[in-house]
A and B are shown apart, each in its own frame.
Chain A
Amino acid sequence: MIRTILIDDEPLARDIVKHYLSNFPEVEIVAECSDGFEGIKAITQFRPDFIFLDIQMPKINGFEMLELVENPPAVIFTTAFDEFAIKAFEVNAVDYLLKPIEQERFEQAMQRLPAKLKQPEMTTELLETASLSPAQHNRVVVKSNGVIKIIAVADIHYFEADDDHVKLSTTDGIFYKNKTMSFFEKTLDQEQFIRIHRSYLINLGQVTKIELKEKDSYIVLLKSDIWLPVSKTGYVKLKAALGL
């Protein structure tokens, strides 16, 4: 038996996938979810072999959901219209079905499935390409102690490199995200977030003071009363961003 979960906020959209799946007796639907939170729960609980995943869903979108799942299963995306998502799929050769979903196309995807089940690791590049979508510029989704938190970028004070993680200092506390500094530098608004140092990416709105520490070496004070070092190239960027 191959086990699957359907994640889509529209019941009729799930119905059509269910209908198509009735031709595949070897596939068992173990759960149906109508948003990303339910999706994460169901995936952790049932550990399906693959999932059908919609992109635009309540609360968190399909990509954000995948970011939060450890060892995500193979995915067949289903989406109506999202230029960025489709670009991400095309770039990374993942299987995706455009709504309305054609039966023939569906069966094609199912035929490709066995090969994908053997190597279910979702390429990180897919998520990186997808994250260029404007929808994901104004928030960051993190998981801490099993709770999912959606953070508005305005509430982020700064990012700090921390081994293979990135530490986020926010109004609501400290969070960690399994990404690189350059990922955030690339995807967030480059006029708002400035890489002042190899280890620090700061929210320009949080800066209250820049001081000369010693010759050619500056430090910056944030509203949260934290001093951070500024590298030489970081100082150039900071000056340009502040229009000095």
Chain B
Amino acid sequence: MLTRKAQKTAALLYLSWTVAFILLFFYTLNFSWPESIADSLITNTLLAFSCIVISTVLRFYQPKDEITLFVLILAAVLAVLIAFVSKFLLSHLFLNDHTYVNFLGFSLIFRVIVLFVFLAWCAFANVLWYRLEEQSEMKERLFNAQNLAKEAELNKLRHQLQPHFLFNSLNSVYALTIVNPKEAGTMITKLASFLRGTLKRDDEVWVSVAEEMEYIQLYLDIEKVRFSHRLNLDINIDEDTMGLSLPGTLLQPIVENAIKFGLYNTSAAILISIFVKVKDNLLEISVENPYDPEMKATGGTGFGLSAIRRRLYLLFADSTLLQTSATKENKYITTLKIPQKI
């Protein structure tokens, strides 16, 4: 509860306080040594215990309003209690010294007042202390929360930018400026359009199928330049889907996943097919990519689509909107269904 240092200080304070009162009683009020020592020891020990009681009570219970009244009543009750208990004990100890017993009688009210002032002061100091502590704790929590939020935002940004894709694309563009400058120009504008699209995207913003597919096409075009003849595309968009729309953050990660497991994991030529159609009043987009069944086992996280599934759940409260299947020909099919806003 208290630190070692605080305990030491408290003990020292208690001792010197007790000694001070012993001397006070002995020299100014002319009591005998036993009386001085007993009086100071009993009264101050009770006082010290009361302080601990107050501190403990206030640690666990501080009424929201009427805190002043609560503290004053607490201090008054304890002060009266201490005064009477010490008077009772001391008058039994020194029955024969009438002057002293008399003194106990008429000093009672005075004692109550001094004890009350002391205890009230102790209580208010405690209230203040706990409030300060709470405040600094709150500040720390706030600081930690802010840090976490910042980190999350940074991670999101980093993920959005896909540094690996970006730097590799830049390297390809750079190579193109030397081997094929005209193509390099096209690639730079495509990369710019793609990045612009990435920055614009947000879970809340819906985009039309036409716009989304243009964005996906840009992404695939860039990958096609990076991997040239190895990447073949077959994109089929049904005419009647053009007017439909979808949240702009869902399809790209699915296509990226198809590229990651279909293209990055092999050095052979591959085909990625995308079908966009309307089915049961839902916009249905399926992405097919080949995969290496041996690699799948070591991929671990089941093609990393869980984040998309979670987002779909947040958007539509339905996690069955994303489905995956694998065919015997080692083709992996990811199907995304989007209910349309009316």
Whether a CB of chain A sits under 8 angstroms from the CB of B172 is: yes
Residues of A within 8 A of B179 (CB): 12, 15, 19
Within 8 A of A (CB), among B141-175: 163-164, 166-168, 170-175
Tell whether, in the assembled complex, residue A99 and residue B297 are in contact, meaning their CB atoms are under 8 Å apart.
no
Residues of A within 8 A of B325 (CB): none
Which of A13, A35, A38, A56 contacts B172, CB < 8 Å? A13
Tell whether, in the assembled complex, residue A101 and residue B163 are in contact, meaning their CB atoms are under 8 Å apart.
no
Tell whether, in the assembled complex, residue B178 and residue A19 are in contact, meaning their CB atoms are under 8 Å apart.
yes
Tell whether, in the assembled complex, residue B178 and residue A16 are in contact, meaning their CB atoms are under 8 Å apart.
yes
Of B1-9, B52-60, B225-233, which binds chain A?
Answer: B225-233
Which of A13, A80, A100, A138 contacts B298, CB < 8 Å? A138
Tell whether, in the assembled complex, residue A38 and residue B267 are in contact, meaning their CB atoms are under 8 Å apart.
yes
Within 8 A of B (CB), among A8-65: 9-13, 15-16, 19, 34-35, 38, 56, 58-59
Tell whether, in the assembled complex, residue B228 and residue A59 are in contact, meaning their CB atoms are under 8 Å apart.
no
Whether a CB of chain B sits under 8 angstroms from the CB of A232 is: no
Given A59-B295, A150-B294: A13 in contact with B175 (beta carbons within 8 A): yes
In the complex, per-residue mask of A98-120: 1 if CB is within 8 Å of any chain B CB, else 0:
11110000000000000000000
Whether a CB of chain B sits under 8 angstroms from the CB of A82 is: yes
Whether a CB of chain A sits under 8 angstroms from the CB of B23 is: no
Closest-CB distance, A32 to chain B (whole angstroms): 12
Tell whether, in the assembled complex, residue B168 and residue A13 are in contact, meaning their CB atoms are under 8 Å apart.
yes
Q: How many A-B residue pairs have CB under 8 A?
A: 82
In the complex, per-residue mask of B295-308: 1 if CB is within 8 Å of any chain A CB, else 0:
10111100000000
Whether a CB of chain A sits under 8 angstroms from the CB of B266 is: yes
Whether a CB of chain A sits under 8 angstroms from the CB of B316 is: no
A28 to B164, CA, bound (A): 30
Residues of A within 8 A of B294 (CB): 150
Tell whether, in the assembled complex, residue A152 and residue B297 are in contact, meaning their CB atoms are under 8 Å apart.
yes
A11 to B292, CA, bound (A): 22
Given A16-B175, A38-B267, A59-B265: A99 in contact with B298 (beta carbons within 8 A): no
Closest-CB distance, B299 to chain A (whole angstroms): 8
Q: Is the interface of B mostly helix, strand, loop or mixed?
A: helix
Closest-CB distance, A179 to chain B (whole angstroms): 18
Within 8 A of B (CB), among A155-195: 155
Tell whether, in the assembled complex, residue A138 and residue B164 are in contact, meaning their CB atoms are under 8 Å apart.
no
A99 to B163, CA, bound (A): 11
Whether a CB of chain B sits under 8 angstroms from the CB of A223 is: no
Within 8 A of A (CB), among B258-306: 264-267, 292, 294-295, 297-300
A38 to B267, CA, bound (A): 10
Whether a CB of chain B sits under 8 angstroms from the CB of A81 is: yes
Tell whether, in the assembled complex, residue A58 and residue B164 are in contact, meaning their CB atoms are under 8 Å apart.
no
Q: How many residues of A contact B (CB 8 A)?
A: 27
Residues of A within 8 A of B171 (CB): 10, 12-13, 16, 80, 99-101
Residues of A within 8 A of B167 (CB): 80-81, 98-100
Q: Identify the interface centre among A10, A13, A151: most chain B CB within 10 Å of its CB.
A: A10
Whether a CB of chain B sits under 8 angstroms from the CB of A143 is: no
Given A80-B164, A81-B164, A152-B297: A12 in contact with B264 (beta carbons within 8 A): no
Residues of B within 8 A of A12 (CB): 171-172, 175-176, 179, 225-226, 228
A12 to B177, CA, bound (A): 11
Given A13-B172, A101-B171, A150-B298: A56 in contact with B264 (beta carbons within 8 A): yes
Which of A11, A16, A150, A152 contacts B228, CB < 8 Å? A11
Closest to B297 in A: A152
Tell whether, in the assembled complex, residue A80 and residue B175 are in contact, meaning their CB atoms are under 8 Å apart.
no
A178 to B338, CA, bound (A): 51
Residues of A within 8 A of B164 (CB): 56, 80-82
In the complex, per-residue mask of B225-260: 1 if CB is within 8 Å of any chain A CB, else 0:
111100000000000000000000000000000000
A58 to B299, CA, bound (A): 12
Closest to A78 in B: B171
A151 to B294, CA, bound (A): 9
Residues of B within 8 A of A80 (CB): 163-164, 167-168, 171
A212 to B167, CA, bound (A): 57
Closest to B178 in A: A19
Tell me the B residues contacting A by CB distance below 8 Å: 163-164, 166-168, 170-176, 178-179, 225-228, 264-267, 292, 294-295, 297-300
Q: A10-B226, A80-B167 are in contact. List 9 more A-B contacts (CB 8 A).
A: A9-B227, A12-B172, A15-B175, A19-B178, A56-B264, A80-B168, A81-B168, A138-B299, A139-B298
Pairs A–B under 8 Å by Cβ, sample size 26: A10-B168, A10-B226, A11-B227, A12-B172, A12-B179, A13-B171, A15-B175, A15-B178, A19-B178, A35-B267, A38-B267, A56-B164, A58-B265, A58-B266, A59-B266, A59-B292, A59-B295, A80-B164, A98-B167, A99-B167, A99-B168, A99-B170, A99-B171, A100-B174, A101-B171, A155-B297
